[in-house]
């Protein structure tokens, strides 16, 4: 077996006053280097790792030792680069990758590169070999994230759906159970297709004060639609892009403790621009406020309010919203969620004016069933258009829509990439209206990814 000659190992291998030349096999040298690292002799472990790399520049164990020792010797950048190389070299040694990712994350932290540290901690979560390692990695990730001024998040999903356009059944008009002969809607039937959503959020936390924190934010949202071949034949003049939606928004958030108390309050002022079907809807300005009204170890209730104005071509649209949101973890570990909200929309265009009451209920099982975590969501809403117009005729009693929705979310926790697990959602929504043209049904399946922590 090839020998590795090392000088000046007297302190580790021989009598203190004797300097010798020692011949070691590569395996012996690795063992001595590992023992030196565990004993706190980082300089010796580092020197041995470098000699091992002379014999094999892609030795994953030697690169791991460099990643572990360089930051402790004042060279975090060298440690991070060694960790990155070690990760690639360890393709055939997956048992090393957890330690590689952890040490590389530590080096990135010492370099003051917290985003890179979070990336490597997510890699560590994928390769953890025990619950203890996994839980420790999550705790470290959250600590690094909390201390990082720049925060970001990405959401993406793609969903085939039976009613991409949200169209009603059309046909002969029926209002409050009474047919209206001569009124027929054949403009756009329900069209199936594929709907894709993507959202990117960025935030930058300014230096915190004793009782407050200010955050600058930006978000971009896009909804892209594609009609199925059957729908393109059914409506040849219609394209999926006609239903695309886009939004960009900048925000200023301020979290503070209510004067004289330890009660937290969140506020945010947002300015955005939205587009629908390629046409600009106009800028919008929104103020959001929220605060918990009940907070316990097993759950909390939060009250939220918002006021928004959007400047459209036909005049401003004003929206007011008030909501109560609650979450509770029961004795079995299952998580319950509930919400109730009121919304009022006023506009110069009568068809846009409405009031809505909506509610939702959700439950997440305490333990996965096999590899799948399950949660179910039930929603209902009543929307009233008091002065609704059809063409040039006003509906006498206005328009009332009742919407019901049910969805089942399945998250595959055992399959993960950088701490993101695939999620499949099955959903169905039905709207019953006193104006028959707005009776709708929609069924869909969405595939996306969900962060596990």
Q: 34-49: per-residue pLDDT in tens?
A: 888 888 899 999 998 9
- pLDDT of residue 451 exceeding 90: no
Predicted local distance difference test score (pLDDT) of residue 9: 44
Rounded to 5 degrees, what are φ and ψ at 451? Answer: -70, 135
Full residue range of the structural domain in which residue 139 is found: 3-146
Contact of 86 with 59, CB cutoff 8 Å: no
Q: 357-401: per-residue pLDDT in tens?
A: 999 999 999 999 988 999 999 999 999 999 887 766 667 788 899
Global model pTM greater than 0.75: yes
| Same domain, yes or no: 141 and 156 | no
Predicted local distance difference test score (pLDDT) of residue 20: 53
Query: Distance from CA of residue 417 to its chain's centroid?
Result: 13
* Residue whose token pair is 């756009």: 188
| Same domain, yes or no: 116 and 157 | no
Which of 146, 172, 187 finishes a domain? Answer: 146
How high does pLDDT run on average in the chain? 88
Q: What percent of the chain shows pLDDT beyond 90?
A: 60
* Residue whose token pair is 């960025």: 202
- pLDDT of residue 314 exceeding 90: no
| Same domain, yes or no: 83 and 193 | no
| Same domain, yes or no: 254 and 118 | no
**What average pLDDT does the segment 202-230 reach?**
94
| CATH number, residue 321 | 2.40.160
Confidence of residue 189 (pLDDT cuts 50, 70, 90): confident
| Same domain, yes or no: 261 and 359 | yes
Q: Which residues pair with 37 in a beta bridge?
A: none
- pLDDT of residue 18 exceeding 60: no
| CATH number, residue 80 | 1.25.40.10
Which of 86, 117, 146 finishes a domain? Answer: 146
Counted domains in the chain: 2
| Same domain, yes or no: 122 and 170 | no
Confidence of residue 26 (pLDDT cuts 50, 70, 90): confident
| Same domain, yes or no: 277 and 239 | yes
Confidence of residue 2 (pLDDT cuts 50, 70, 90): very low
Q: 246-302: per-residue pLDDT in tens?
A: 999 999 999 999 998 889 999 999 999 999 988 898 899 999 999 999 999 999 999
Contact of 36 with 52, CB cutoff 8 Å: no
| Same domain, yes or no: 246 and 391 | yes
Which of 101, 121, 146 finishes a domain? Answer: 146
| Same domain, yes or no: 337 and 409 | yes
| Same domain, yes or no: 354 and 229 | yes
Q: 401-437: per-residue pLDDT in tens?
A: 999 999 999 999 888 888 888 999 999 999 998 888 8
Tokens of 323: 């909501």
Predicted local distance difference test score (pLDDT) of residue 354: 95
Predicted local distance difference test score (pLDDT) of residue 167: 76
Burial of 243 (0-12, 13-18, 19+ CB in 10 A): buried
Q: What percent of the chain shows pLDDT beyond 70?
A: 89
| Same domain, yes or no: 156 and 141 | no
Predicted local distance difference test score (pLDDT) of residue 269: 98
Q: What is the 3-state secondary structure (H, E, C) of 113-142?
A: CHHHHHHHHHHHHHHCCCHHHHHHHHHHHH
| Same domain, yes or no: 266 and 285 | yes
Alpha helices (H) along 90-228 = 97-110, 114-127, 131-146
Q: Which of 143-157, 208-222, 304-318, 368-382 has the least mean pLDDT?
A: 143-157
Predicted local distance difference test score (pLDDT) of residue 10: 34
Q: 319-346: per-residue pLDDT in tens?
A: 999 999 999 999 999 999 999 999 999 9
């Amino acid at each position: 077996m090839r020998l590795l000659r090392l000088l000046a190992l007297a302190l580790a291998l021989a009598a203190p006053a004797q300097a010798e030349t020692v011949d070691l096999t590569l395996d012996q040298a690795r063992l001595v280097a590992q023992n030196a690292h565990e004993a706190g002799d980082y300089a010796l472990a580092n020197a041995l790792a470098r000699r091992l790399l002379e014999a094999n520049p892609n030795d994953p164990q030697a690169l791991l030792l460099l990643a572990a020792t360089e930051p402790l010797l004042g060279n975090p950048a060298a440690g991070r680069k060694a960790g990155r190389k070690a990760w690639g070299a360890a393709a055939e040694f997956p048992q090393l990758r957890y330690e590689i990712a952890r040490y590389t994350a530590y080096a990135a932290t010492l370099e003051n590169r917290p985003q890179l540290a979070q990336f490597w901690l997510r890699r560590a979560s994928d390769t953890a070999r025990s619950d203890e390692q996994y839980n420790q990695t999550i705790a470290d990730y959250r600590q690094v994230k909390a201390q990082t001024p720049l925060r970001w998040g990405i959401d993406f999903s793609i969903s085939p759906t039976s009613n991409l356009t949200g169209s009603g059944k059309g046909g002969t008009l029926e209002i409050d159970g009474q047919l209206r002969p001569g009124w027929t809607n054949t403009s756009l039937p329900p069209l199936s297709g594929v709907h894709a959503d993507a959202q990117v959020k960025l935030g930058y936390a300014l230096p915190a004060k004793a009782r407050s924190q200010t955050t600058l934010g930006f978000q971009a949202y896009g909804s892209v639609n594609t009609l199925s071949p059957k729908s393109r034949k059914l409506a040849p003049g219609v394209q999926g892009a006609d239903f695309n939606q886009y939004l960009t928004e900048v925000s200023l958030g301020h979290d503070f403790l209510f004067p004289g108390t330890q009660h937290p309050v969140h506020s945010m002022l947002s300015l955005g621009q939205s587009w629908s079907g390629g046409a600009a809807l106009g800028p919008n300005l929104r103020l959001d406020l929220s605060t918990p009204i009940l907070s316990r170890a097993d759950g909390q209730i939060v009250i939220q309010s918002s006021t928004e104005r959007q400047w459209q071509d036909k005049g401003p649209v004003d929206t007011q919203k008030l909501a109560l949101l609650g979450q509770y973890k029961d004795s079995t570990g299952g998580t319950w969620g509930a919400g109730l909200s009121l919304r009022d929309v006023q506009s110069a265009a009568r068809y846009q004016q409405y009031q809505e009451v909506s509610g939702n209920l959700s439950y997440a099982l305490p333990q996965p069933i096999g590899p799948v975590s399950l949660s179910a969501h039930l929603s209902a809403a009543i929307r009233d258009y008091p002065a609704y117009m059809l063409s040039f005729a006003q509906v006498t009693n206005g328009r009332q829509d009742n919407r019901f929705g049910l969805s089942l979310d399945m998250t595959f926790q055992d399959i993960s990439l950088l701490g993101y697990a695939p999620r499949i959602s099955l959903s169905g929504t039905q709207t019953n209206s006193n104006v028959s043209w707005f009776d709708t049904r929609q069924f869909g399946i969405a595939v996306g990814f969900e962060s596990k922590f």
